Amino acid sequence: MLWIFLAILALAVFFGVWAFVRKRSFAHLSSEQREADFAGFGGLLWQFAIIFGLFALGLGIGAIAIYLRGTPI
């Protein structure tokens, strides 16, 4: 269970960093061009990274609770 949580967390961090770097690489564009870009795939990527990160956090909290309780999975 811990390995699954770590894999999901790694993916969430990867997508979050990728979205951040992608946002920074378009800093030279005008605000209208940036908004148009992030209304499409970029905005979806941010939402995916946030939702995926919250899902990984929930799995991690659940895994820790199960581990502390001593209940086998």
Full DSSP string of the chain: -HHHHHHHHHHHHHHHHHHHHHHHHTTTS-HHHHHHHHHTHHHHHHHHHHHHHHHHHHHHHHHHHHHHHT---
The pLDDT profile of the chain, 73 residues, written as one tens digit per residue, is 677 777 777 777 777 777 777 666 656 666 666 666 666 666 667 777 777 778 877 887 877 777 788 766 5
- Supply the range of the domain harboring residue 13: 2-69
- Quote the pLDDT of residue 25: 61
Positive or negative, the CA dihedral 50, 54, 60, 61 is positive
- How many domains are contained in the chain? 1
* CA 18 centroid distance within chain: 10
Residue appearing with tokens 């209208």: 32
What pTM, to 2 d.p., does this model score? 0.41
What one-letter code names the amino acid at 44?
L
- Quote the pLDDT of residue 61: 80
